[in-house]
Structure 1
Amino acid sequence: MKYTRIYADGNGESHFEDVEISMKPGPANAGTISETIAAKGVMFRQSREYFINWHNAPHRQFVVNLTGTVEIVASDGEKRRLGPGSILLAEDLTGKGHTSRGLGGEERISLFIPLAD
């Protein structure tokens, strides 16, 4: 299992990284499970087509796409389209940031999960 991470390097440039989640056997043969990652809460978001120009993540947070597609552009120029079931760890709190655009005209439902410090 993987998630996509966006982060800022020492020069303030944002980049993507694919991160493999370490999994272990779950209880009662119910698949596999990761270690707990402490979070502060959860926010629900509904949106359609939109564009948010260069910005930083407000805090470290997972963004889980349930429906719809978003295109995110890192300041290094790399573009990623994240669809249903994708998970993004937004950690580019400083630097040039990224843009995000809702695509396809369909409703995008996502969860924002701010992480504990």
Structure 2
Amino acid sequence: MTTITRLYTDEQGHARFEDVDVSFLPENPPPDVMGFSQPLAASSVLFGLGPAGGSHPEQPESRRQLIIGLSGSAEVTATGETRTFGPGDVLLAEDTTGVGHSSRSTVGFVAAVVLLEPPGV
């Protein structure tokens, strides 16, 4: 099992963080077998670069996406709570309505972004 962070919109329209456990089948695979989670459908993958000193104001995401940190780090703030994401961290960004979140990076951030919905959805 591994844990990822989910960013979602609560009933009052505020962005919130939630830790989500991802389980694998088989749970304890033998050395010659790889365990897998349940699949997530994706429409495309792209790579993003947040420059050092870059930031964006509080806003919702345009679509659901997985953001997988590759290098550097980024701070994401949602309703007063700030979490830092770096290499290997996974953020499931689902706050597509409401106030949204803000982010900033003092050192720069490179991520693989897996879009879970096609553009315009």
TM-score (norm 1): 0.89
In structure 2, C-alpha distance between the alignment counterparts of 1:100 and 1:108, rounded to whole Å? 11
In structure 2, C-alpha distance between the alignment counterparts of 1:30 and 1:62, rounded to whole Å? 25
User: Which of 23, 45, 49 pairs up with 1:42?
Assistant: 45
Cα distance, 1:64 vs structure 2: 0.4
Partner of 1:13: 14
* Gaps in structure 1 of 5+ consecutive residues: none
The residue type equivalent to 1:58 in the other structure is: S
Partner of 2:116: 115
Q: C-alpha deviations, 1:88-115, integer Å up to 9, x for none?
A: 0001111111001013x2x421011111
Alignment RMSD, CA only? 1.8
The residue type equivalent to 1:17 in the other structure is: E
Q: C-alpha deviations, 1:59-114, integer Å up to 9, x for none?
A: 01000001010000002x111001110000001111111001013x2x42101111
The residue type equivalent to 1:11 in the other structure is: Q
Moved more, 18-27 or 8-17: 18-27
Q: Equivalent pairs: percent with the same residue?
A: 36
Partner of 2:57: 53
User: Which of 83, 94, 102 pairs up with 1:99?
Assistant: 102
Cα distance, 1:27 vs structure 2: 8.6
TM-score (norm 2): 0.86
The residue type equivalent to 1:110 in the other structure is: A
1:23 alignment partner, SS class:
coil
* Gaps in structure 2 of 5+ consecutive residues: none
Count of equivalent residues = 114
The residue type equivalent to 1:35 in the other structure is: Q
In structure 1, C-alpha distance between the alignment counterparts of 2:38 and 2:84, rounded to whole Å? 27
Partner of 2:71: 67
Q: C-alpha deviations, 1:8-39, integer Å up to 9, x for none?
A: 11110111000000211369733422121110
